[in-house]
Structure 1
Amino acid sequence: MEIERILEKYKHLMLVIINQVGVTDWFLREDLLQEQRMHLVQLYRKGVFQKKFENIDDYIFICLKRRVINVLIQEKRSRYTSLNKKMLDSEFEYIDFLIEPINADNYQTILENIITYITSHLSVEEQALINLYFFKNKTLEEIGKSNNVSRETIRRSIKKIINEIRRWYR
């Protein structure tokens, strides 16, 4: 098939691009190679290789390099430390360090305190939103339609209420 020939033809170019951006992590290199292969397939399906370009290799180089850079930007934004990763020079995991175990009695007390706060400090409308969203499992769209407002308005209102409860609980 022609796509396999194209993938083989540009394999060296893909490796050159990855080396240019300085990726040394093996897993990330493999991810980037796969992303580039998928991008070549997309370009093939769009008919780029059937068109008569004067410098198609230069065009492909730029497309693949942009794809790698975009993936690296995305990867950097979403990079986080796993909570299950061992802390340096420690036998504990991050998750153990960050949260203390909650027993059932403590959980029940916390929940009762939050419900008391909701009923005593929130307006009737805010209580209704919390009830519909968390206890009646209504979607934001369903709540918005019943109140003649947008889904986004409901989302912001619920987020504001949750932040208020969080501030109170701390």
Structure 2
Amino acid sequence: MITVIIPVRDQEEALLRTLAALAPLAAQGVVADVVVADCGSRDATLAVADAAGCAIIEDCADRPSAIRAAVGLARKPWLLLLAAGDIPDAELAAAAREHIAQAGLSGLPRAAAILSLPAGASFMRRAALALGFDMLGHSAPQARRVLAPRAEAHLLAPGKRRWPGARLKARLARIEHDPQKWTPLLR
């Protein structure tokens, strides 16, 4: 049903947590395969991806080129862009299934941005982020977690316009990352 795409750089621990969270979704048939696109990791990130049976793309110049290369390896009609450290769960799987079914009924495939919240975020912080996400629109640079049909794969790469797609109501937990490790991916 879905190919998961995860661009990474020096994130072995975070990737391990994300891949462990994806295992039950693969057992349910929601996730069919995972493509890890690496931007020059010097730690054991690639070994983690290889041990988990992921398709691997090495030596990508930056996040946009990593995403484009991963789309080329994707085998399924729907793509889910995640970040290492995201913890997808049954709620996200159900929301993704429902979104894909609705898109199939309408005949109009539409990408959906997914709200990502730090694990352990306070109720007020979650509420404020959710309100901004739902009311103000989600700009493409912040749409780092996206579910999209292959026909709309161009929406996975960062852009400068407001998010044109739908918004999934499922909240995606994530572990906090070292911002230093993310800087090279945010070009």
Report TM bin, short chain: under 0.3
State the structure with bigger RCO (CA 8 A, min sep 6), 1 or 2: 2
TM-score (norm 2): 0.21
The structure whose Rg is larger is 1
**Which structure: greater helix fraction?**
1
**Which structure: greater strand fraction?**
2
